[in-house]
Structure formats: structure tokens, C-alpha cells
Amino acid sequence: MSSQRLSLRQPDDWHVHLRDGAMLQAVARATARQFARAIVMPNLSPPVTTVAAAAAYRQRIAAALPNGCDFQPLLTAYLTDAIDPAEIALGFGEGAWVACKLYPANATTNSAAGVTAIEGLTPVFETLERIGMPLLIHGEVTSPDIDIFDREAVFIERHLAPLLGRHPGLKVVLEHITTIDAVDFVRTGPANLAATITPHHLHINRNAMFAGGLRPDLYCLPVAKRELHRIALRGAATSGNPKFFLGTDSAPHARTAKEAACGCAGIFNAPFALESYAAVFEQENALEKLEAFASEFGPRFYGLPLNPGQISLVREPLEVPRQLHLNDAAGTAVELVPFHAGETLPWRLQLDAPIAPR
Ligand code: NCD
Ligand code: ZN
């Protein structure tokens, strides 16, 4: 591998929000351009809680992509207090969805229908354990008396550790981890426990949200933490430990929804996600570890084949635009601010690199 070009097995994104409607049309291509497959979050309005809803969403995603694009969305089921384990198993068997997503009720965007008492879902977890279907967790407690910066660590202690104790065979991904507590818990936990790490939590700590004024584009959930946590995340991502893999949590909101009196949580990193990760791995002198993090550990955890295609990153300055005007199906521009807006990244995805047919 030359120092000017980095060839990688084509990666997947193990956590993304593709949205719906006009936003889906505008953003889905950004993910399909970089990744072969993606775990697509179900927090639509209404959420994806039935096999029929998942099938319909899959069709809307396909319609949003260019003809001939072979991007494969891997859908997820949104757990509610009332969801029927039989419906989950049916959809898993049919390939309608590949994992369940647990949002504690009111933890984040479109989570009002989420789970109010995790213990109440024991029949669901027993089913997942039996059929080998992964459970993806937004790991934050929601009690207002818990400081927002402590919500992940408290969730691990109060809910995740007991859950794994009750269901030792359950495959769990703790999504978008943000703390040294999560890194240590996952690292020392059983092989059926893994975690995704976003590019933004590798790049920014909580100061970034307040640098020179309020920065709504760097607000997401779980919120960025202190520097010591960012350092631990960088260590985990570049360690070569297969329990930590790529999940962007790209979560676009229109500029008007971010820059508002009550701005939405979410960072739109899909357009330059790989370039963002590559910058971190280079800073950590670990570029040789990027391929396994981006393209191997995720599929191995999910029990899916590795992608046969290759992509290339070239060492060329990439100027990230201050804003993007992405067209929806009707040709109306949706204004979005990408992660790294106005910055220059050192590596660029080479788009004309031939991608082997899958
Ligand atoms: C996500 C969204 O907007 O859907 N927001 C975010 O800040 N990450 C929801 C989530 O993953 O918490
Ligand atoms: Zn998310």
C-alpha cells in the first residue's frame, strides 16, 4: 500500500439514519456512494414496527437510489413496549429486517414510542437470543435527574449489565459509544457484545459545541463528552479489537431544524464519512487498521459475508463545503450542513475507482 493511495475492501455503515420522504431522496445517495450495505435505523414517523412497514420502507429506499445502484439496506425493527416477538421472528426469517433497535422512550429523535421498561421485554429478548438476531441499543437513561453527560455510563450500570446477565446468549451492539466507561465495558465483556463508533465522537469533544458560540451542527445524542473519553474512543477504534466497528450515526436534519430555538440532535456525516475516519486513523498512526474496522469486524459480528469490492482513498486535500444543497425527488433543494463543514480533510474517496460487481 503506497502512502498516497489506500485500497480497502468496500466498507459498510453499521448505523445510519436514511430518513424518509424528501429527506430520504436527498440523503440516501450519500451513504450508497461510500458503503455497500448499511444498518438503517427505524426511527421514522411512524416508526418501523411491522414487517409490512419494513418492506414498504425498503422500496422507498430503492426508489431513492439511482438505477443500477446495488447498495443493500439492512433494515431494523423498532422495539416498543407492545411489539410482538412473533412479528420480529417472522421478519427476521423473511429477511425483512436483520436486527432490533431499542430506544429508551424519549431518549432521542422519534423515540417517543420507545421502550419504557426494559424488563418488560423479556419475551422479545428470549426470542432474539433463540433466533440469533442482534439487539442494537441506544444506551442512555432518560431520567431528568441524571446529568446528560452521565446518561450512557448510568445506562450501562443500571440496564445493560443486568440485561446481559439475564440473557447471556443475546447478541448486543451498544451503538455510537461516547465514553471510556462504554469502551471498558465492551472490551471486557463477552464476545457477543460489540459497539459502533461514529466519526464525530472520534473528532470532537464537548468543547466543540461551545467553541466561540453555540454550534448546533455538533450537537448529537449521545452528546460528545470530555477529552478523556474521546481519547479512549480513538484507542478502541484503532486497536484492532473486532468488538469495535464503524457506524456513522449520520443523522441529517434540515439546517432550519438544527438552527432553531430547540434544535434537533444529529450530525450529518454521510457525505465524507470514510474520509473523516481515515483522518483519525492517520493521526493515530493506524491507517493499516482502518480496513478491518470499516469492512471486516461489522460483517463478522452480524454473520454476513465480507464485500468483494474495493475502494480507494487518495491523499488529496478534500475541502468540505460549508453547506450542501441536496435535491429531493421533486428537485427541491434541502439545505444541510455536513460534518467538517469548511474544513479540509487529508484523504479523499476516489469515486472512479472500479468497484467489482457484487
Ligand atoms: C438521531 C436522529 O436524529 O435520528 N440523532 C442523533 O443525534 N444521533 C437519533 C439517535 O441516534 O440518537
Ligand atoms: Zn442513531
Average pLDDT over residues 253-270: 97
**pLDDT above 50 for 353:** no
Is residue 232 domain-resident?
Answer: yes
**pLDDT above 80 for 122:** yes
Q: Which amino acid appears at position 277 of this protein? A: Y
User: In the prediction, which pLDDT does 189 show?
Assistant: 98
Is residue 338 domain-resident?
Answer: no
Whether 134 and 173 have beta carbons less than 8 Å apart is answered as: yes
**pLDDT above 50 for 261:** yes
Task: Convert the pLDDT of each residue in 268-299 to its tens digit.
Answer: 999 999 999 999 999 999 999 999 999 999 99
Atom number, ligand 1, closest to the C-alpha of residue 175: 11
Is residue 139 domain-resident?
Answer: yes
The verdict on pTM exceeding 0.85 is yes
Q: Which-ligand-closest: CA of 222?
A: 1
> Which CATH number does the domain housing residue 230 bear?
3.20.20.140
Distance 317 CA to ligand 1 centre (A): 29
Answer left, alpha or beta for residue 99, where phi above 0 means left and psi between -120 and 50 means alpha.
beta
User: Which protein residue's CA is at the shortest distance from atom 4 of ligand 1?
Assistant: 109
Catalytic residues: 249
Is residue 14 domain-resident?
Answer: yes
Task: Convert the pLDDT of each residue in 297-330 to its tens digit.
Answer: 999 999 999 999 999 999 999 999 999 999 888 8
User: Which protein residue's CA is at the shortest distance from atom 6 of ligand 1?
Assistant: 266
Task: Convert the pLDDT of each residue in 84-120 to its tens digit.
Answer: 999 999 999 999 999 999 999 999 989 999 999 999 9
Number of domains the chain is built from: 1
User: In the prediction, which pLDDT does 3 show?
Assistant: 82
Task: Convert the pLDDT of each residue in 125-143 to its tens digit.
Answer: 999 999 999 999 999 999 9
- Using CA atoms, how far apart are residues 43 and 49, in angstroms rounded to an integer? 9
**pLDDT above 70 for 227:** yes
User: In the prediction, which pLDDT does 275 show?
Assistant: 98
- Using CA atoms, how far apart are residues 350 and 354, in angstroms rounded to an integer? 9
Average pLDDT along the chain = 96
User: In the prediction, which pLDDT does 2 show?
Assistant: 54
Is residue 60 domain-resident?
Answer: yes
Share of the chain above pLDDT 70, in %: 97
| Number of neighbouring beta carbons within 10 Å of residue 227 | 12
Residues lining ligand 1, CB < 6 A? 17, 43, 108-109, 138, 220-221, 249, 251, 265-266
Whether 134 and 99 have beta carbons less than 8 Å apart is answered as: yes
Is residue 3 domain-resident?
Answer: no
- Residues spanned by the domain of 91: 10-305
Is residue 339 domain-resident?
Answer: no
Atom number, ligand 1, closest to the C-alpha of residue 111: 9
Of 109 and 34, more confident: 34
Is residue 355 domain-resident?
Answer: no
Q: Quick one: pLDDT band at residue 354, thresholds 50, 70, 90?
A: very low
Q: Quick one: pLDDT band at residue 172, thresholds 50, 70, 90?
A: very high
Distance 176 CA to ligand 1 centre (A): 10
**pLDDT above 90 for 358:** no
Question: What order do you get walking across the sheet with 348-350 strand by strand?
Answer: 5-9, 310-314, 348-350
